[in-house]
């Protein structure tokens, strides 16, 4: 099974990315300001969108910034991340000409300029065929609570799994099939626990800026092998 011969029914419909290791990458690269690794990591998102497009994957969810990190990281680090959210990531999605942006998280935790840049990108890209959900100001319990609140507000009488799933923030397909985490950390850090309940997980030792298209293809091959095994079980 080569990189170019994975049958479409063996590919994940929805990929989740935990893009970790930006600061460690910058330190390793000799940057005096480790925060600059986040700029490189943000630029790398455009590559990720291209890889998904190449493989025909139309649903992608990425972990950008948790609510805990906003509250607990030093102000200088958080302010730098807010700048990236205001100036880099929304424009990356808009320039893709293919991806619709959805934000899952509490934008009230962000400065007004960053929150408005993200909302404007959501509005500008709303009618596009592929869907990128970014976890920003994200809290895993809050995500589930928000889904329940939305379902109730929509008049759902019976709160079953299907109703709550459909009401969760994000793109139209909620269930994540494959989660890829960079930097070697063996944990999900609260990454969409409801949506990843049945996901396969790949942990790469690569730091996010070093993660390549070949690494992405290898994760897809792993998923295809697991899918084949499950179908034949």
Ramachandran area for residue 169 (φ above 0: left; ψ -120 to 50: alpha; else beta):
beta
Query: CA angle at residue 219 from 217 to 221, to 5 degrees?
Result: 70
The answer to whether 48 touches 17, Cβ cutoff 8 Å, is yes
The answer to whether 183 touches 20, Cβ cutoff 8 Å, is yes
Active-site option among 20, 39, 139, 143: 20
Q: Report how far Cα 11 is from the mean position of its chain's Cα atoms.
A: 17
Q: Is 210 a catalytic residue?
A: no
DSSP 122-154: HHHTTT-SEEEEEEEEE-HHHHHHHHHHHHHHT
Active-site option among 47, 69, 106, 215: 69
Q: Is 232 a catalytic residue?
A: no
Where would I find the beta strands (DSSP E) of 68-125?
99-104
CA separation (Å) from 129 to 63, 95, 124, 184?
A: 21, 14, 13, 32
Is residue 18 within a helix (H) or strand (E), and if so which, with residue range?
A: strand 14-18
Which positions are catalytic?
A: 20, 69
């Amino acid at each position: 099974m080569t990189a170019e011969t994975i049958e479409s029914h063996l590919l994940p419909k929805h990929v989740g990315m935990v893009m970790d290791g930006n600061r460690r990458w910058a330190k390793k690269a000799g940057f005096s300001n480790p925060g600059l690794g986040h700029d490189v990591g943000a630029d790398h998102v455009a590559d990720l969108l291209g890889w998904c497009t190449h493989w025909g994957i139309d649903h992608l969810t990425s972990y950008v910034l948790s609510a805990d990190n906003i509250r607990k990281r030093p102000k200088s680090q958080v302010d730098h991340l807010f700048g990236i959210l205001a100036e880099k990531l929304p424009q990356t999605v808009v320039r893709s000409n293919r991806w619709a942006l959805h934000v899952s998280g509490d934008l009230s935790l962000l400065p007004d300029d960053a929150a408005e840049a993200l909302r404007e990108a959501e509005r500008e890209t709303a009618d596009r065929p592929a869907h990128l959900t970014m976890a920003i100001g994200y809290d895993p319990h809050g995500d589930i609570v928000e889904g329940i609140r939305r379902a109730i507000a929509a008049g759902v009488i019976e709160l079953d799994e299907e109703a709550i799933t459909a009401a969760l923030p994000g793109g139209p397909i909620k269930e994540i099939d494959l989660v890829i985490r960079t930097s070697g950390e063996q944990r999900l850090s609260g990454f969409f626990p409801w949506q990843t309940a049945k996901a396969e997980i790949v942990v790469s030792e690569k730091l996010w800026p070093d993660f390549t298209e070949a690494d992405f293809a290898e994760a897809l091959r792993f998923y295809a092998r697991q899918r084949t095994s499950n179908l034949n079980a």
